[in-house]
Amino acid sequence: MAGHALGIEPDDLGSSDRLARKVLRTVLKRFRVERAALYLLNPNRGDLEMDCSVAVSYTHL
């Protein structure tokens, strides 16, 4: 259900860049934020690693 709301297709799961863009685009649109962030943790590393990061800033709610 959540994947459908975000517009995520099974093919998007193979590309972290494409997946991140879709999630961020939906956050920007649905929650009317000026900037959005997606923190991706890489479970294949020993320590938590952020692949992408930006801040979230609300404009109007």
Q: Give 3-61 pLDDT, tens digit per residue.
A: 566 677 778 777 777 777 787 788 778 777 666 665 554 555 544 444 444 444 445 44
**DSSP character string of 10-28:** GGGGG-HHHHHHHHHHHHH
The pTM (predicted TM-score) of the whole model is: 0.47
CA distance 7 to 29: 12
**Whole-angstrom Cα distance, residue 48 to residue 61?**
32
